[in-house]
Amino acid sequence: MNAAIEVKDLTLAYGDRVIQRDLTFNVEARDVFVIMGGSGCGKSTLLRNMLGLEKPARGDVYYAGHNYTEASPAQQRKMRMNWGVTFQQGALISAMTLTENLSLPLELYTDFTPAERAEMISLKLSLVGLAGYESYYPAEISGGMRKRAALARAIMLDPQYLFFDEPSAGLDPISSRRLDELIATLADSMGSTVVMVTHELDSIFAIATRAIYLDNKTRTLLDQGAPMELKSGSQHAVVREFLNRGKVAPEPGVDR
Amino acid sequence: MPNDSVQFVDDGERVSLVLRGCWDRDTPTPDAKTILAGVADKKVVTVDTSGVENWDSTLVNVALGLRNLAEQRGLSLQENWPTGIDELLVLAEAVPPVAGDAGATNEARWGILASLDPISASRRVGEELAGLSQFVGALVVSGLKLPTATARVRFRDFLHFCYQTGPNALPIIILTSSLVGLILGYLGAVQLKQFGAEIYVADLVTVGILREMGPLMTAIILAGRTGAAYAAQLGTMRVNEEIDAIEILGVSPMEFLVLPRVAAIIVMTPLLTLFADVFGILGGGLVSSGLGVSPLQYWSEVQLVLHPSHLVIGMVKAVLFGALVGLAGCRAGLSSGRNSEGVGKATTQAVVVAMVYLIIADALVNVVCQLLDI
């Protein structure tokens, strides 16, 4: 049986500058999978390549066994129907109210009547704790609320895959924790596979089931596994150091 | 070696570098290359810094240089740096430098000279034309979906942009076109008075405004006002990842964002041009009355010269100019960089490119009219 997402020999580059090379890993169904690493190592670039927003220099990304990188635009569009994505800054369309933002995927992919759409939007806004904010514009709500509204838009079609780019960046610890819990609860209840880019250790330990570490020195995937196991058991000092907030954890065996 | 700050102790197979004294910016000290030049063909080099009294980044720089050179020459470097330097070296080596100067553009390397290079200049023109053709093609494909109602265009957006482009721009269009008519009338009247032909100032102003200055001035105002606004709006959406979100939702930014904007400016430019024409001609009349041509004479002459062909040519130009301004603005915005500087550049590019397009298109239309004798 195929993994939910397979990344094979993916090399990320901007022109001649290689960001990461030969990345190979699998994301299993219902995983909460975290892409971690230091600043500038290419975490967001990897996510953008997985989403097809950037074209990889080499390699392929498979969703449920189907090659997304090589798929035609029509096939890609069909595959994207199963995705929900939230970007670093929420990326709600600023000229639209929350209702209009959330209505967009429903208008595109469903035959719902306006009344059904309004009902569904209310439900999703309630799920993220934003009931009553239907007619607000993104600029009229706080950063944390924008992120939750973006999450509501991402789950409008109950997607099979949920992607998050730094979901808790810029949030206070309490809001950040609540957002993590919300993501975990929603993903679990919808049976979604989650791929998340973050370097927030609290988030990683709270909700991630598996993680990969991208190294910006060697520009490769250094290690992968369950975050708690990597914290003490990674063969690479830099991974242990990252997961122990900069304190060098004792070596489990061979070091880098 | 200055200041005797390094001493070489030859120990058979290895050589020890004994560093002494002050290694700071106020003390002349050798760099890593000079130091390693004294190592000759030894394969193992030991660094002893126990005699170092005071140091700053100078010594960190030497340490880094020694490490890099030792790696290049295949030397084994056994180091003993003062407390603190090790941590700085870890920080400095945490992220490897970008290979070569791959990030430096031709422009960064050669400055203003790069823009004078005829090869790169012609390449830029080629890229611009190819990019424009691609953009127009994509827009036409999106536009063709409109009759089948499969295009993701919100009619409300179209109306919103029509309002932004049209009524909001009307006061400035009226002001500038009146003044242009006034200037044309004044220049014409002064020259024609020498031949006793002041009455023909009405012909000059009417034909000049209808065929040339009306559509051109309207388009120039719209380039600075609406084209720049389109570029800034779309550029900011690019920065805020809104365009990425739209693409991920499966909506074409060309249909959702570009089509309503370009359609709005195409519809509104001829309407604004009509106002520019009327107020331009009135402006010319204002000057003429001060120069001995009565308003009635001026109006009679305007009616004589007011041929529909002038109006049609002006309207054709207005539609074309509107489309070009919209295209330049939207294209600059969609290809904007992902930072505030990128948005600024996109806005400037939208205006500059629109001006160039306008002048070229105006010249081409005039040549065609000349050939067709209209």
What Rg do the C-alpha atoms of chain B give, in angstroms? 34
Instruction: Please tell me the predicted confidence (pLDDT) of residue A248.
Output: 67
Q: Which residues of A touch B152 (CB under 8 A)?
A: 108
Instruction: Please tell me the predicted confidence (pLDDT) of residue B164.
Output: 93
Say if CB B223 and CB B358 are below 8 A apart: yes
Encoding tokens for residue A220? Answer: 């490769």
The rounded distance, in Å, linking the Cα atoms of B261 and B304 is 38
Residue in chain A lying closest to B238 (CA): A91
Q: What's the average pLDDT block by block, 10 residues per block, for chain B (374 residues)?
A: 74 84 84 83 84 84 86 85 78 60 54 73 86 91 80 85 94 96 90 87 94 96 96 94 90 92 96 97 90 88 92 96 96 90 93 95 95 88
- Residue of B155, B241, B243, B257 best to disrupt the A interface, most CBs of A under 10 A: B241
- Residue A17 confidence class, pLDDT cut points 50, 70, 90: confident
Instruction: Please tell me the predicted confidence (pLDDT) of residue A225.
Output: 94
Specify the pairing of strand A161-165 against strand A83-86.
Answer: parallel
**Residue B165 burial (C-beta neighbours within 10 Å; 0-12, 13-18, 19+):** buried
Give A16 to chain B, closest Cα distance, Å.
7
Taking any CB pair shorter than 8 Å as contact, residues of chain B touching chain A are: 93-96, 98-99, 102-103, 152, 157, 236-237, 240-242, 244-251
Determine the residue type at B210: L
Q: Which residues of A touch B103 (CB under 8 A)?
A: 17
Q: Which residues of A touch B240 (CB under 8 A)?
A: 89, 91, 94
Say if CB B285 and CB B177 are below 8 A apart: no
Q: Which whole-number Å values give the CA distances from A10 to A7, A24, B263, in the listed order?
A: 7, 7, 41
The rounded distance, in Å, linking the Cα atoms of B211 and B307 is 11
Q: Which residues of B touch A71 (CB under 8 A)?
A: none
Give B233 to chain A, closest Cα distance, Å.
10
Nearest to B244 among A15, A87, A95 (CB): A87
Query: Which residue, among A53, A65, A45, has the nearest Cα to A5 in the 3D structure?
Result: A65
* pTM check: above 0.80: no
- Percent of chain A whose pLDDT exceeds 70: 96
Beta-strand (E) ranges in chain B?
6-11, 14-23, 44-55, 76-78
User: A255 pLDDT exceeds 50?
Assistant: no
The rounded distance, in Å, linking the Cα atoms of A29 and A161 is 9
Residue in chain A lying closest to B151 (CA): A108
- Residue of A85, A100, A165, A256 best to disrupt the B interface, most CBs of B under 10 A: A85
Say if CB B368 and CB B303 are below 8 A apart: no
Q: B34: which residues sit within 8 A by CB, 6+ positions away?
A: B1
**Rounded (10°) angle between helices B170-193 and B259-290:** 40
**Residue B307 falls in which region: left (phi positive, over 0), alpha (psi -120 to 50) or beta:** beta
Say if CB B347 and CB B332 are below 8 A apart: yes
Q: B89: which residues sit within 8 A by CB, 6+ positions away?
A: B60, B63, B64, B67, B81
Give A132 to chain B, closest Cα distance, Å.
23
Taking any CB pair shorter than 8 Å as contact, residues of chain A touching chain B are: 15-17, 38, 40, 48, 51, 53, 77, 80-81, 83, 85, 87-89, 91-95, 104-105, 108-109, 216-217
Using alpha carbons only, give the angle B248, B249, B253 rounded to the nearest 5 degrees: 80
pLDDT tens by residue, A18-36: 999 999 999 999 999 999 9
- Domains in chain B, ordered, with CATH? 2-94 (3.30.750.24), 145-372 (no CATH)
Instruction: Please tell me the predicted confidence (pLDDT) of residue A254.
Output: 46
The rounded distance, in Å, linking the Cα atoms of B310 and A222 is 71
What Rg do the C-alpha atoms of chain A give, in angstroms? 19
